Amino acid sequence: MERATGYVFLIGTLLLSSALLITDFPGTFAPPRSETEIVLRSEFNDVSTDMTVDSQGNVIIVGGRMEGSEISTARFHIVKVSSSGDEIWTKTWNNSLFNMLVSVEVDSLDNIFIAGVEGFNQENVTGLVMKLSPDGVIVWEVEYAGLAYEWYDWPQEKYFFGLEFDSIDDTIYIVGSLRDGSHRTLIANLDSSGSELWRTEWEGPSGSNGTDAAAFWLSSQEGLVVRCNIYGGDHPFFPYTGSCIASFALNGTLMWNHTLWDFCWTGIETGTNEFVSATDSWRGHNQVTRYTYDLEEISSFELLVGEYYSISIDGFSLNETGNIIGYGSVTSLIAGDSVKRGYSALFSGPQPPQTLVLSCSASGEFQWYDFLVLGRMSAPCGVQFDSDNRLIIAGHTSEWSFHENDIYVVFSFRQTPFPLPYQNLLVGFFPLFNIIIVALISEFAVLNIKGRSIFGVRSPGWNLKNAVKRLLQAQTIVLFFLYSYLVGFRGAGGPPAPIVYLPQWVSLLLMSLLFGILTLGLLFLRVRPRETDVEGDLDIHSEIEEMDTT
């Protein structure tokens, strides 16, 4: 009686513990990783491409707004959010059917400079450079016709168009890809009133067929540093034969250029004659390499994020201490394990992209990585530090559909230790449950033979061997149907299995059910001879009691 009650208590404890693990109860005690997180929800599909922070700590995010999944209704979209996370204003407009803002900068007076494209994914793309007041009013606008720019489900630019504001002389530098009969890189300089000071069109290194811009940044010693892809032909999948880096003086004169083979779209200067760039490895664009401007490699490390499918490092930012913060996206099997606070993964492995953040020193030494799971997917558009040295991350996220995105901003992000994988303990649920339940059935069988009751009720005619056999059959049938529905017996190709879109604990319990069946099988082999011995001992015990009574 007392042992049976103990077994029932163990089953209740097991069920309660498993429920707490499923709800990630231990994770609720994890330290917060930020001060404020906001998601600007709307009925439209809002995507982000770039962000910046002004002198007041306000965050400006630019991108596009699409009504539903049709990009034919894409409109220019810019949002300004205060340092406390309150939306200050939003401006949305369109000049044509295919509009996207792609770059943003601010000056010392918090005027906003933005670059956008009309007709993206079309043959004739027009680039726009605009100046907005701090209140979002357009002050002036300059057009650049004949550009190339493409946008896909997430803002991954095949052809670059962007701007940088030089606070020293209050001028704007723009770089883009010209496509009016040939492939050329456009570099231009505008003053703060929008007048063009000079313009350079570069076809690329000697002997090349042309270039398409990939990235650029202002250097303290090297002027304007531009990364370009070298055009090789009209092959739909391999249009480029290599890459190059070039330096232009602040009057547009080409100073030097070097050819390299890594196809990259980002970089940042970290010291005199040094820069850091994301390069590709066989695992993805997850290698951070420190170079001299002569392309001599100083140091390099490959970012490994557990069991991941791909990593893409899209950009870098520097803080006052010289630490480098990189951002990008990660498609990982275990991204949901890093979730803290209000963030939760709607499903795990293999996942759509989520926001990746990494840190390394100015000397290129790796420090830490972390990532945010914001709904079904998230893509960052940039990271920056405000005047208080708080790390701000912005981008867009989607909870349910890839075509229903909303802008997000995370203020004062800080890396925190990854929580322990408590949910992995769920694998032991069915093995422990089966061991306890078989022990309980065994106790009921003994009580039944002795003619005693449990909890005031006479126990039924328990037969340990048959009970274990029926339990084994029932769990095997349940496993077969669950596996058929959630995983299926699929060949190569086709859509992913339904289990991909379910929480991680579903996969763990399905695995636990398999281990539980194996445990039952071993117990069944054990109880078959033991039950006969127990029944024989009880019969002898009963005969002795009868003899004593006589």
Per-residue confidence (pLDDT) for residue 436, from 0 to 100? 92
- CB contact set of 449 (below 8 Å; sequence gap of 6+): 535, 538
Q: Which of 23-37, 73-87, 312-326, 493-507 has the lowest mean pLDDT?
A: 493-507
- Same domain membership, residue 333 and residue 318: yes
| Cα–Cα distance measured from residue 357 to residue 242, given in angstroms and rounded to the nearest whole number | 28
- Same domain membership, residue 399 and residue 479: no
| Cα–Cα distance measured from residue 277 to residue 265, given in angstroms and rounded to the nearest whole number | 8
| Single-letter amino acid, residue 306 | G
- Given a cut of 80, whether residue 49 has pLDDT beyond it is yes
Helix segments in 451-503, DSSP class H: 464-486
Mean pLDDT value of segment 204-221: 89
CA distance to 37, 45, 265, per residue, from 158 (Å):
31, 21, 9
User: Has residue 243 been placed in a domain?
Assistant: no
- Given a cut of 70, whether residue 533 has pLDDT beyond it is no
User: Has residue 251 been placed in a domain?
Assistant: no
Q: Of 415, 449, 479, which one is at a domain's C-terminal end?
A: 415
What average pLDDT is seen over the chain? 82
- Same domain membership, residue 436 and residue 509: yes
- CATH assignment at residue 393: 2.120.10
Q: Of 384, 415, 446, which one is at a domain's C-terminal end?
A: 415
User: Has residue 30 been placed in a domain?
Assistant: yes
- Same domain membership, residue 11 and residue 150: no
- Given a cut of 50, whether residue 344 has pLDDT beyond it is no
pLDDT in tens, 383-442: 999 888 899 999 999 876 667 889 999 999 988 776 677 888 999 999 999 999 988 888
Q: Which of 162-166, 330-334, 493-497, 532-536 has the lowest mean pLDDT?
A: 532-536
> Which position has the higher pLDDT, 232 or 48?
48
Per-residue confidence (pLDDT) for residue 540, from 0 to 100? 46
- Same domain membership, residue 108 and residue 8: no
Does the predicted TM-score (pTM) go above 0.85? Answer: no
- Given a cut of 80, whether residue 338 has pLDDT beyond it is no
Q: Of 396, 415, 434, which one is at a domain's C-terminal end?
A: 415
* Interior angle at CA 355, CA 317 and CA 331, nearest 5: 125
- Given a cut of 60, whether residue 548 has pLDDT beyond it is no
pLDDT in tens, 377-393: 888 999 999 888 899 99
- Same domain membership, residue 114 and residue 37: yes
Is 371 in contact with 335 (CB distance < 8 Å)?
Answer: yes
Instruction: Return the SS3 of 527.
Output: helix
Residue 448 burial class via C-beta count within 10 angstroms: exposed 0-12, middle 13-18, buried 19 and up: middle
Structural domain tally of the chain? 2
- Same domain membership, residue 143 and residue 113: yes
pLDDT in tens, 474-528: 999 999 999 998 887 655 555 667 776 677 788 899 999 999 999 999 888 877 6
User: Has residue 245 been placed in a domain?
Assistant: no
User: Has residue 204 been placed in a domain?
Assistant: no
> Which position has the higher pLDDT, 207 or 274?
274
User: Has residue 470 been placed in a domain?
Assistant: yes
pLDDT bin (cut points 50, 70, 90) of residue 348 is very low
- For residue 487, what are the domain limits? 2-23+423-549
pLDDT bin (cut points 50, 70, 90) of residue 175 is very high
User: Has residue 6 been placed in a domain?
Assistant: yes
User: Has residue 339 been placed in a domain?
Assistant: yes
pLDDT in tens, 63-80: 999 875 555 578 999 999
Is 303 in contact with 369 (CB distance < 8 Å)?
Answer: yes
- Same domain membership, residue 411 and residue 280: yes
DSSP label of 74: B
Per-residue confidence (pLDDT) for residue 208, from 0 to 100? 86
DSSP label of 98: B
- Same domain membership, residue 502 and residue 407: no
For the record, the structure tokens of 393 come out as 């991350």
- Same domain membership, residue 383 and residue 520: no
Per-residue confidence (pLDDT) for residue 218, from 0 to 100? 93
pLDDT bin (cut points 50, 70, 90) of residue 2 is confident
- Same domain membership, residue 432 and residue 343: no
> Which position has the higher pLDDT, 500 or 92?
92
Per-residue confidence (pLDDT) for residue 529, from 0 to 100? 63
Is 247 in contact with 193 (CB distance < 8 Å)?
Answer: no
- Same domain membership, residue 544 and residue 407: no
Share of the chain above pLDDT 90, in %: 40
